[in-house]
Amino acid sequence: MKRFLFLAIAIVVSACSGKIDEAELTHLNGYWEIEKAEMPDGETKEYAVNSTVDYFEIKDNKGFRKKVMPQLDGSYRTGSSDEKINVSDEDTGTYINYKTDYATWKERIVELDEDELVLKNDHGMVYHYKRFKPFSIKE
């Protein structure tokens, strides 16, 4: 019984740390579509239709995020700019650190699995993403 109690406490403590382990971090790679954004005042903005999706590519805690536009033939149109990213663990959780020629910022990974990504920025905005499902009308 004591072992069970110790194991249960260990699981709760590790879950509350908010840190994402390396196996979970691999889920970040790929295409993500924003579903909604929650403002610090409680207001929520729903995104029913998106013309762009975010593509993340990360290896060894470094990589990039790029905005891409899905095309009807199943391909993606990309711009020339991307955001360099690295992932870091801090006391308060796991963060994605972004850097462009114009700015640097970070977002805490609140939730990450195969189908869901939730990020929170320093201004209290919470972004909910779902895994993007590609489509094609090719014959």
Instruction: Say whether 16 sits in a helix, a strand or coil.
Output: helix
Kindly state whether residue 26 falls inside one of the protein's structural domains. yes
Number of domains making up the chain = 1
CA-CA-CA-CA torsion sign (74, 64, 58, 119)? negative
Nearest to 99 by CA among 107, 111, 109, 89: 107
- CATH number of residue 50's parent domain: 2.40.128.280
CA torsion angle for 80, 81, 87, 93 (degrees, to 10)? -130
* Predicted local confidence at residue 133, as pLDDT: 87
Percent of the chain with pLDDT over 70: 86
Where in the sequence is the domain holding 61, given as residue range(s)? Answer: 19-131
Kindly state whether residue 61 falls inside one of the protein's structural domains. yes
Q: What tens digit of pLDDT does each residue of 21-71 get?
A: 888 999 999 999 999 999 999 999 999 989 999 999 999 999 999 999 998
pTM of the model: 0.82
Kindly state whether residue 14 falls inside one of the protein's structural domains. no
Phi/psi for 40 (5° steps) reads -60, -25
